[in-house]
Amino acid sequence: MMKRLLIAMLLFAACKKPNRGPELIQQYGCTTCHTIPGVEGHGAIGPPLEGVGTRPAISNGKVPNTPENLAKFVREPASLNPSSSMPALNIPDADAQEIAEYLRTLK
More confident residue, 15 or 28: 28
- pLDDT over 60 (residue 14): no
Q: Identify the CATH homologous superfamily for domain 20-103.
A: Cupredoxins -  blue copper proteins (2.60.40.420)
Q: What's the pLDDT at 107?
A: 95
Q: What is the DSSP string of the chain?
A: -HHHHHHHHHHHHHHSPPP-HHHHHHHTTGGGT---TTSS----SSPP-TTGGG-SEETTTTEE--HHHHHHHHH-HHHH-TT--PPP----HHHHHHHHHHHTT--
What is the mean predicted confidence (pLDDT) over 1-5? 70
